[in-house]
Amino acid sequence: MPLVEVRISDLEDLIGKRLPLEALTKYIVMLKGEIEHVEGDILEYEATHDRPDLFSAEGLARAIKGLAEISPGLRRFDVREGDSEVLVDKIDYRPYVACAIVRNVVLTEEAIRQLMQLQEKLHMTYGRKRKKVSIGMYDLDKIDPPVYYKAMPKEEIRFVPLDMERELTADEILRLHPKGIEYGDILRGKKHYPILVDSQGVVLSMPPIINSEDTKVTVKTRNVFIDTTGISLNDVLQLLTIITTSIVERAPEGYIETIKLRYPDGNVITAPQLNERHMKLEVDYVNETLGLNLSMDEVSRYLAMMRFGTSRRFRDTIEVIVPSYRLDVLHPIDLVEEVAMAYDYERLIPELPKTHVTIGSIDPLEFFSRKVRDIMIGLGFQEVLNYMLSSKELLVHRMRRKAFQLVEVENPVSERFSVLRDSLLPGLLYVFSMSKGYGYPQRIFEVGDVAIIDPSKENRVREERHLSAAIASSKVTLVDALVVLNSLARSLGVPITYAPPSGNKRLPSFIEGRCGLILLEGREELGVVGEIHPEVIENFGLTVPIAAFEINLDKLLMTYEKIHAS
């Protein structure tokens, strides 16, 4: 979530009123912001992702003017039709551009800082680091429209980029300019780069990398030209709306002027598109959702505090006017939350439903696991807990198994956690390897989930609940493991038998001839038991004999249920 820094004095200038700090921070919290810190005139808050209109002081002030009921209700913008045009070339990899003009702005250093911050936060979030959308702002009086959005052979591009003193070529910008280094990947490999240029050949910018120094916005700028470019028309128009409606808050005497965008397919689009949307909201819907009993007037008042327009009430329905910059309002339920926010969450009294009576229960496999864990603990085993994410090195190589396909992560952060475990035993041996010298015998077990590839499943994976136990002790043999297994089976009343690995099947992690399969009803394979192979013990850096077993609890539970059904 973006961190936004504002100056309280600037915010108050925009609000037009001094507010106590407590009131200010309370309003920010009511707008889902989280106060990060306040120091002198500086206030930093974390805005939520759904409210790009609150990524700078302009939008925040507008919202607070509603909450403080200084000017509640819809913010109407003065939008005038202009005759400037932008001629759009066909650029496959970044086909969309939208532009707007805001006239008669009054910019201070702080105002410029806020607009830069807004631009940067939008780039990072909605713009997906400029890949999806990028934004530019220019001093209109240094531009001679019409403006052209075109792809230029990169060798022909030369201009002074922002914060540089000399002209650079396009490739120099990608190589030398900080922004070029940061975002150059979006353009690299292309022969033509997109460029915004005016009728006199003055370069405005090379989207999405950098603007030109010549057309830079300064405190002297009176009229601002804005562009957004990107890969989706909708996104380009939406971010243009956010930035335009924010800049115009810096133009008390000013207005927004539209621009005609001439697309190569003959389409003409007028931007910005600041259309308000109308939405019907039933008061009952608000009350039923929130568990409140608000009147229509109250609901209208709370909506106005959140700067929605309300008009044409009909019976229990309010027609709500949603301003264009509220990109997050998709459904009337969003308005319900707005009412709750203006009502103030701290005033909502928590309550348990009186009629919603249900009987709780634990998942049967979870309950069975708990019983099995109890028995293992009764047998003197310490329970351990390992991650499901593991490595081939641990699961396969150290265990002397032949390579096979595990459930594998495409983008692991570390090789240590790059596949899902298919058995628990390697994790137990890992615990032994990390617990050398903590006193023997060590008797440990784990009950947990493992993942095995199974193309018949919708998610291509079969998950099983396993139990594995291991004993490390100077005198341990297979007998010790069998004693535990027999005891467990007897406790559950489920008979088990043992058999050597059949056919050409081998159990490479165990000593040959001192291991075997555990069978249910004489045929179904429940798991394996044996003395761990000395090479495996060495692989874990241990010098103590180990006997262990691993069984499938899903199968054990099924048999348990069959036996105890009657």
Indicate which single residue of 166, 191, 315, 331 sits in contact with another protein (rule: CB under 8 A): 331
Q: Which is nearer to another protein, 223 or 324 (CB)?
A: 324
Q: Which is nearer to another protein, 13 or 298 (CB)?
A: 298
Of the ranges 344-352, 508-516, 527-535, 538-546, which one interacts with another protein (CB under 8 A)?
344-352
Within residues 284-303, the interface with another protein by CB under 8 A covers 288-292
Encoded tokens for 542 = 């241990």
Indicate which single residue of 8, 389, 519, 544 sits in contact with another protein (rule: CB under 8 A): 389
The CA distance from 403 to 393, in Å, is 10
User: Are the C-beta atoms of 96 and 157 separated by less than 8 Å?
Assistant: no
Q: Which is nearer to another protein, 357 or 565 (CB)?
A: 357
Indicate which single residue of 200, 358, 474, 502 sits in contact with another protein (rule: CB under 8 A): 358
- Sign, CA torsion 290/293/294/295: positive
Encoded tokens for 480 = 């010790």
- Sign, CA torsion 102/108/112/114: negative
User: Are the C-beta atoms of 528 and 550 separated by less than 8 Å?
Assistant: yes
Of the ranges 78-86, 115-123, 244-252, 343-351, which one interacts with another protein (CB under 8 A)?
343-351
Of the ranges 23-31, 79-87, 103-111, 221-229, which one interacts with another protein (CB under 8 A)?
23-31
**Strands of the 224-230 sheet, one edge to the other:** 79-80, 255-257, 96-103, 224-230, 133-139
Within residues 237-276, the interface with another protein by CB under 8 A covers none
Minimum CB distance to another protein, residue 350 (Å): 4
Within residues 402-421, the interface with another protein by CB under 8 A covers 405, 407-414, 417, 420
The CA distance from 517 to 502, in Å, is 9
Within residues 117-136, the interface with another protein by CB under 8 A covers 125, 128, 132
For residue 146, is the peptide bond before it cis, meaning its omega torsion is within 30 degrees of 0? Answer: yes
Name residue 206's beta-bridge partners. 210
Indicate which single residue of 4, 6, 11, 31 sits in contact with another protein (rule: CB under 8 A): 31
Q: Which among 392, 454, 390 has a CA at the least distance from the CA of 424?
A: 390
Encoded tokens for 70 = 């200084």
Within residues 34-73, the interface with another protein by CB under 8 A covers 34, 48-51
Q: Which is nearer to another protein, 107 or 342 (CB)?
A: 342
How, if at all, do strands 192-198 and 42-46 pair?
Answer: unpaired
The CA distance from 407 to 253, in Å, is 63
Of the ranges 8-16, 58-66, 108-116, 339-347, which one interacts with another protein (CB under 8 A)?
339-347
Minimum CB distance to another protein, residue 284 (Å): 12
Minimum CB distance to another protein, residue 419 (Å): 9
Q: Which is nearer to another protein, 7 or 373 (CB)?
A: 373
Distance set, CA 400 to CA 199, 403, 507 (Å) = 72, 9, 9
Indicate which single residue of 22, 402, 458, 474 sits in contact with another protein (rule: CB under 8 A): 458
Within residues 422-441, the interface with another protein by CB under 8 A covers 430-431, 433-435, 438-439
Of the ranges 247-255, 346-354, 516-524, 534-542, which one interacts with another protein (CB under 8 A)?
346-354
Q: Which is nearer to another protein, 32 or 103 (CB)?
A: 32
Q: Which among 55, 7, 11, 9 has a CA at the least distance from the CA of 32?
A: 55
Residue 185, phi then psi, degrees to nearest 5:
-55, -30
Cβ burial of 306 (10 Å; 0-12, 13-18, 19+) is buried
User: Are the C-beta atoms of 271 and 261 separated by less than 8 Å?
Assistant: yes
Indicate which single residue of 133, 157, 336, 470 sits in contact with another protein (rule: CB under 8 A): 336
How, if at all, do strands 461-472 and 546-552 pair?
Answer: antiparallel
Of the ranges 2-10, 60-68, 349-357, 538-546, which one interacts with another protein (CB under 8 A)?
349-357
Of the ranges 75-83, 177-185, 455-463, 545-553, which one interacts with another protein (CB under 8 A)?
455-463
Residue 546, phi then psi, degrees to nearest 5:
-135, 135
Of the ranges 8-16, 99-107, 249-257, 352-360, which one interacts with another protein (CB under 8 A)?
352-360
Q: Does 385 bind another protein (CB under 8 A)?
A: yes
User: Are the C-beta atoms of 121 and 254 separated by less than 8 Å?
Assistant: no
Minimum CB distance to another protein, residue 489 (Å): 18
Q: Does 21 bind another protein (CB under 8 A)?
A: no
Cβ neighbours of residue 561 closer than 8 Å, sequence gap 6 or more: none
Q: Does 377 bind another protein (CB under 8 A)?
A: yes
Q: Which is nearer to another protein, 23 or 333 (CB)?
A: 333
Binding mask 217-236 for another protein (x = CB under 8 A): ---------------x-x--
Query: How big is the site for another protein, counted in residues (CB under 8 A)?
Result: 94
Q: Which is nearer to another protein, 84 or 433 (CB)?
A: 433
Name residue 318's beta-bridge partners. 281
The CA distance from 249 to 6, in Å, is 15
Q: How far is CA 559 from the centre of its chain?
A: 43
Indicate which single residue of 83, 144, 366, 535 sits in contact with another protein (rule: CB under 8 A): 366
The CA distance from 109 to 37, in Å, is 22
Minimum CB distance to another protein, residue 50 (Å): 5
